[in-house]
Structure 1
């Protein structure tokens, strides 16, 4: 379940809890409410001395009753007419809560199943490059790995194409150990020591490629190998995170290629794609 659906169902839970609490409070308040009739003023005191002298105790005829004694206190008042329990608040409150929950759930389901807007569909990444696209790229020098003294500088060369419709990126990685803080423009002139050339191939699930305007962005991990003369490839054990942006620029030349610009991030360093030495050819 994605974040939007999780948030929606959390909202449903909060609404349900609030409705249940409101229903409970309403039921308790309404079930305890009483309506009493207005009470009149108490009767004025009456002097009954004359009646007492005329009818001393024991001489007044007694009304028949269970004990034969006259009642000395007024009868207990019955329950007020408005004091009746109302059995309807609890079921009514529960019905309201159920209807509200059903409406909220329906709205959430409709939002979850609705088709994405055209704007959202148009911004989704598209597969790239198209079949037949070929890019030969040369990148400036970058720091592949820092050393205790100096750096390991690399001067990557890349070829981007397709293999049965799937992107394929070949990386050739000449490297030099230099006693400098940065990768020099010319490692030979700077006195750097050449090391064996490393290679890597990223294809299939090893490379993720998306459209970026007129160009592409490639991301993956380059596990390098060595190609000793006449021997099978040997893994170096080094894996470099890779991110390459490439965009055609300028009009096509007579051979159908265009200059390419972009940037490569590899290992700990980054360097621009050299447009004067990089070409892109797009089929169709």
Structure 2
């Protein structure tokens, strides 16, 4: 009888690891596709405008005006005006809006991030259009668009994440196939049976030919004298396994599959970590804008690289032997122009330094005035009081210089408010100002407007 043909069964056993790996690959791809389909999609678009001087006087003011327009982009009026012709709410536009200014250049980049690609492009263009229209009345500088909005994120990364899922699925599939191939094999075969033995029997038995003895001693003849049988040879002592351990084909396949899976997983990790292009080294800090009118508890959070709002409000620098302390209040100056009336502030400024370190505190009481010019005393002019803004600035962002009996300081002050029932919160605005203080008076310049000191107190040490 011939042995049964096991080739079809062997082929099925050989295909089984690859079928298991293929199922794992399909499962990983299905999970990746489902996650991509369910994730929220966002697209960013950026448009730019520039502030260029029209006259020699405007050359010195171009950067200050650019700062003012960067702050103007955060104003609720600008956001509402830009959202008028858009299919998005003003609050959604404000949440996805950011402003950048590179170095000391008078170029402003407005970035809008929204779920819909077309809405993001239109939103960035709309904000720039509002700023350009606002700058049409400028006399010293020209505010003009530099570029129309274009997507800046390079797509939503769907193709990249599908490739990451494919590499991960291949890695897990190879690992599954290798483990299945290794575990389906039985134990290694033992030594071959000795000749003359049958499976399951004991040691082989010697076969004795009795024909010669029959001829010499036929039946009925006396039995021959018995001779002692030779002693059997002693069995060789066992000193260990008779075969050396070897690595089977299953073990080699498992090792090769594991190595390939590790390589594919490393490739997927590298690909997943290169999803975003890093910002240029000289790019200005991007500050997300908040929508102040949405309520006192939803004010903007702390901008990057800044201490918590109000954390240094009660700090000061001991002047020592070579330092100084100075404080001053100023008459009303223009903070922002409105469609109807002006927003005016009466700043209060204090500074302390020991010659090496410096710290300044700024207080900006806000008044809404229905006047053509900022009044020196907004309260006496009948202006309505608004929410006070505060700022604390230290070196190296704060520049303090002593010139005889006068002190000059310059810096860009990020402001915060103190809402009732909540902690201090940054407004997202930063005002660049220059102040000169002396015992006989002083002057403060904020943007293009300036105001004299109403009261000053300067104390020098050394």
TM range (shorter): 0.3 to 0.5
- Which of the two has greater helix per residue? 2
TM-score normalised according to structure 2 size:
0.29
